[in-house]
């Protein structure tokens, strides 16, 4: 069986769902789509669901490391975080990078309003950028 290449500049739909035909430039899909995302419970190394994440490390007390299946081209990608309250319902948590970005992994810290590290009930992250 031979493998081949399909090349096109625009994706189009006949609008069978909405009744209105739509199209999108493939450059938008390549540049505008998330290249990695993760959804995970806090205080665990299990992953509920993900794209381009090979593993999740629990580095202790609100610190995590996401390892990418496919590296980013450089460390200038964008990250968006989301967390749900700390276990037990106390203190809202937010995530931020721990130090500099890496092309192969992202280190995250989750903080509460008092400035303490803590594990959220649920956390997620979406990453946009160019893959290597």
Tell me the pLDDT tens digit for each residue of 79-123.
Answer: 888 887 665 665 555 666 666 678 999 888 887 777 788 888 888
34-128 is a CATH 3.40.50 domain: no
Neighbours of 93 (CB within 10 A): 27
pTM given for the model: 0.75
- List strand residue ranges (DSSP E) for 14-99, in order: 22-25, 36-41, 49-51, 53-60, 63-68, 78-86, 93-97
pLDDT at 47 over 60: yes
User: For the chain, what percent of residues have pLDDT higher than 70?
Assistant: 83
pLDDT at 39 over 60: yes
Whether the CB-CB separation of 6 and 15 falls below 8 Å is answered with: no
Ordered by start, the domain boundaries in the chain are 34-128
Neighbours of 123 (CB within 10 A): 25
The arithmetic mean of pLDDT across residues 39-53, rounded, is: 89
Mean pLDDT for the chain? 81
């Amino acid at each position: 069986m031979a493998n081949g290449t399909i090349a096109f500049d625009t994706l189009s739909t006949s609008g069978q769902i909405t009744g209105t035909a739509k199209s999108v430039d493939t450059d938008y899909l390549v540049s505008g789509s998330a290249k990695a995302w993760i959804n995970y419970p806090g205080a665990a190394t299990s992953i509920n669901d993900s794209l381009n994440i090979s593993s999740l490390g629990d580095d202790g007390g609100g610190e995590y490391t996401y390892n990418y299946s496919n590296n980013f081209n450089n460390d200038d990608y964008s990250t968006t975080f989301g967390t749900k309250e700390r276990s037990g319902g106390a203190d809202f948590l937010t995530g931020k990078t721990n130090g500099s970005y890496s092309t192969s992994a992202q280190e995250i810290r989750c903080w509460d309003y008092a400035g303490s590290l803590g594990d959220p009930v649920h956390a997620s992250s979406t990453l946009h950028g160019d893959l290597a």
